[in-house]
Chain A
Amino acid sequence: MATATQSKLHVTDLHFRRRKIADRLAFIALSACAGITVFMLLIILSYIFYKGATQIDWNFLTALPKPAGEPGGGIRNALIGSVIIVALASLMAMPIGIGTAIFLNEFPSFWVGRAIRFLADVLTAVPSIVVGLAVYTLVVRPMGSFSGFSGSVAYAFIMIPIIIITAQEALRLVPSNLREASLALGVPRWRTILMIVLPVSSRALLTGLILAVARALGETAPMLFTSFGNAFGNVNISKPTATVPVVIYRYATGPYDDWHSQAWAAAFILVGVILLASIITRFVIRSKFDE
């Protein structure tokens, strides 16, 4: 029996103390998990920064590579190549991906929708080297040579399922009462989608696109047998074209110290661009009325 002065809210029994300890332990364990994640990320980022940032100068960004063994040289060819190939891939993947998502979302038909969504999920899990192989067979062989264009097709394959999935989620979040409001005003369905549904979800759609671009930018395997590589500045998409991840791969596995440090520098730029892209989507491109 508690004494008269003791509060009945002061529980001190064993259960209570055990519960408190369990609570503490769980909290510590979970924060440790989060901490390890952040720690690994920071280690990778800071190591890339440490190894890469120090190597970068204007020359590195604007010069073409020097022949093996000669010091200096840059990755202009790879930067331009990556930009062209990814831009072209986006042009291919965006309409197809968003179009598919609109189809799935605005014209729901149970079987077709489920099947396409399942295929998109499967496609995201297809190893990128398999995508490269497929594009090699379907595009590179018939065209007779490695090309930037085939690289774009491979990237588009990788981007489309990501865009479909993110876009479908984005469209699903558009409240149905907005669609109804528009339809009830006598606006045809296609204009409702174009003028109401897409603008409302534009930010999420864009985030999905950036996500897909970021994923594609770093893909190396499919580029090895599609765009291949090119030591000269090339802007012709029917010719082999250098890309940043392939340059990283070649330089990092090459025998020269100079190449190794250039690989780090290229890695830094790749990570930097992807990071920048995410930040830009978050801050610059906002809808007109966001506070």
Chain B
Amino acid sequence: MNKRDDQVNNEGTATEERSLPHRRVHLHSEHQQQGEQKPADMPISISIQGLNAYYGKFRAVKNITLDIKAKQVTSVIGPSGCGKSTMLRCLNRMHEETQNGRTDGKVLLDDEDIYDKRVDPVAVRRKIGMVFQKPNPFPTMSVFDNVVAGFKLNRFWVNKSELADRVELALKQASLWDEVKDKLNQSGMALSGGQQQRLCIARTLAVEPEVVLMDEPCSALDPVATLKIEDLIRQLTSKYTIVIVTHNMQQAARVSDWTTFLLMGDDRAGELIEYGETKQLFTNPKDERTEAYITGRFG
């Protein structure tokens, strides 16, 4: 264990001193301790096939093919502007909400193409939830209403006691229940930044998605709040498939089972450079550009 830690540290510390001192790069523990290889044929949740994403004429993401494993955490890393977030937003059809945003290629959720003409994006988003960079609780709603917002706004009529149960469950799943159980009727905006972000996670979980996409969920948070969210992500992986975009490599190393490395090509479109088990990608990258990036030679 120590040996492996050192290895990562040697490579990581060159430029990556942003991490907390007591939380140097170390891969999240389970697999590392057991040292076992993850099977390559794990069940697949989302299969991305030849995905391109455009803003008007500009292609931001180029020909990405990638299988995201079910009930695993997959991180997406890469330098700024390499299309990480755009790619993520293609996975629940949020990209098309951007002005001039369009995509081609296939994204299969359990073998069903979410870009099929007969598929309603609303239905896709109920199965594939999303947490954003900046905590964005609904300002006119209480903590309680925030949690059930998605759940309630999807229905015309709801049972009061069912609602309360759901709020408690979702807040417990998001490790927020103990902190807010006495202020469920206060504004969501009254919480701290980290709590707000966990509230947003609870809100997403309350809809009971299969996949949770996270777009740099900690970049607006302080280190302590960041750690809480990371712990939470590890807990959630037993039930949910998680895809997390991060510009923090230590975070990718800490929370994810699988890592995807994107890089901007000559035409400024983001391409998939390497995809593999997090441990392997960080300790023994196959592509020299990945190695250059994780050792801090650019980006």
Enumerate chain A interface residues (CB-CB to B < 8 A).
Answer: 108, 175, 177-188, 191-192, 195-196, 199-200, 202, 287-289
Contacts and interface: CB of A to CB of B under 8 A. Distances in A.
Interface string B121-133: 0111111011010
Contact of A186 (B97, B99, B123, B190): B123
Nearest to B121: A183
Interface of B: 92, 94, 97, 99, 122-127, 129-130, 132, 134, 136, 138-140, 142, 149-150, 153-154, 186-187, 189-190, 200, 203-204, 207
A289 B134 contact: no
B154 to A, nearest CB: 6
B255 to A, nearest CB: 21
Contacts of A108: 99
Contact of B132 (A180, A187, A191, A289): A180
Nearest to B150: A185
Contacts of A182: 138, 149-150, 153
7 A-B pairs closest in CB distance: A185-B150, A186-B126, A289-B187, A184-B130, A186-B125, A187-B153, A199-B140
A175 B266 CA distance: 34
Given A181-B200, A184-B132, A186-B129, 6 more contacts: A182-B138, A185-B126, A186-B123, A187-B149, A196-B140, A288-B142
B41 to A, nearest CB: 31
Given A184-B130, A185-B149, A186-B150, A177 B136 contact: yes
B134 A177 contact: yes
A170 B208 CA distance: 33
B97 A183 contact: yes
B203 A185 contact: yes
B138 A181 contact: yes
B207 A185 contact: yes
B129 A184 contact: yes
B138 A289 contact: no
A91 B291 CA distance: 66
| Chain A CB within 10 A, most for which of B94, B136, B154, B207 | B136
A24 B124 CA distance: 64
Interface centre among B122, B129, B140, B203 (most CB of A within 10 A): B140
A233 B122 CA distance: 54
B136 to A, nearest CB: 5
Given A186-B125, A200-B139, A288-B140, A180 B94 contact: yes
B150 A178 contact: no
> Which residue among A108, A182, A184, A188 has the maximum number of chain B CB atoms within 10 Å of its CB?
A184
Contact of B189 (A175, A183, A191, A289): A289
B140 A191 contact: no
A287 B140 contact: yes
A178 B94 contact: no
A188 B150 CA distance: 10
Contact of A185 (B99, B153, B190): B153
B18 to A, nearest CB: 25
A202 B140 CA distance: 10
Nearest to B134: A177
Nearest to B153: A187
A186 B138 contact: no
6 contacts: A183-B94, A183-B125, A187-B149, A195-B153, A196-B140, A289-B189
Contacts of B94: 180, 183-184
Contacts of B149: 182, 185, 187, 195-196
Interface centre among B94, B138, B190, B204 (most CB of A within 10 A): B138
Contacts of A184: 92, 94, 125, 129-130, 132, 204
